[in-house]
Amino acid sequence: MQRSVASTCKKWAVHFPAPRTPSVARAPRWAVLITSRRRVRFLRPSLNSGSDPDGKALSLKILGISGFEGSIPFKRAHWPNLDEREYRISQGHDSAAALVVDGTVVAAVAEERISRRKHTGAFPRGAIAYCLAEAGLGIEDIDELAHGFDYAPYRSVYGVDPVSRDLYREVYSRNALLALVARDVPGFPAERVHHVGHHLAHAASAYYTSGWDECLVVVIDGMGEVQSVTVYHAHAGCLDRIAQIPAHDSIGVLKSKPKCSVTSEYNTPIESCAGICAIRSRRPACAWYTVTLCASPMPSITTTKHSSHPDV
């Protein structure tokens, strides 16, 4: 019996030790086999059931990364006199890396745990090195490197203004990512580097580890590329986008603005903000909420028919 639920994606703060021998998922098509808290298999069996000429089973190794190293430097260069915490109002913080081998999460770590730089958006070379070491692999063993943002569909939008055009070219573009890969992972083939839409990445993480063949996936965050909420109909291994709310109506941004006024960080966890509010005056934040909520119109929701993504 199929079930329909709203799935959310959690950020895991633990790393996963490498298995001694990567195993191949043998569950039915697109089924999820959870063998323990640290082993979640979710790839289609046909993707990793082949063999090499010697008859040895082939394994699929995917390295996922996040972060935009040039985001804050770009903002500093164009607006040098802002308050320090205002530079945090930008995209691509908390860079990280995660390694999946044959559908098994082998290792995952935030770059800040390696570099000791809180909320860093730097290219996660330290996190990549950690994940590879945990699995006993070299970068040449990686089949695909996937970045959790895809701004290519919105290139024309960024081209209407000289500053936004430079932002796209220097920070968000494929060429910008490939330049960082060439610098920190020299020799890695550009054709193995891929971009995944931010909300699609969240939805895939929730759906393919949920255990349901069909469900409703709701992604809500500050913003993806240009959206703040996306709803997907997940079924038969596909994710069909059925509704979307743009970033200018973002609940996450609404939550973050007053947090920035009571803390020094735009992306401070709400728990930390609540603790600080207990010892500071809350009047500025309360006033901001009152004015903003009273003046803002209801969010606009775009319902769309979107193509399936069978190979996420």
Q: What is the DSSP letter of 22?
A: -
Does the annotation count 93 as an active-site position? yes
Q: What is the DSSP letter of 302?
A: B
Two structure tokens written together for 183: 């610098």
- Residues 148, 64 contacting (CB under 8 angstroms): yes
Where does residue 14 rank: exposed (0-12), middle (13-18), buried (19+ CB within 10 A)?
exposed
**How far apart are the two ends of the chain, measured CA to CA in Å?**
24
Going by their DSSP bridges, the two strands 39-41 and 61-65 should be labelled as: unpaired
Q: How far is residue 47's CA from residue 103's CA, in Å, rounded to a whole number?
A: 10
DSSP letter for each residue of 44-89: -GGGS--B-TTSPBP--EEEEE---TTHHHHHHHH-TTS-GGGGGS
Active-site hit among 15, 78, 93, 233 = 93
Tallying the residues shown for the chain, one arrives at 312
Residues 6+ apart with CB under 8 A from 255: 270
Q: How far is residue 33's CA from residue 239's CA, in Å, rounded to a whole number?
A: 19
- Closest C-alpha among 115, 110, 105, 111 to residue 135: 105
Q: Count Cβ neighbours within 10 Å for each residue of 81-108 and write b for 16 or more, e otherwise.
A: eeeeeebbbbbbbbbbbbbbbbbbbbbb
Q: Which residues are catalytic?
A: 93
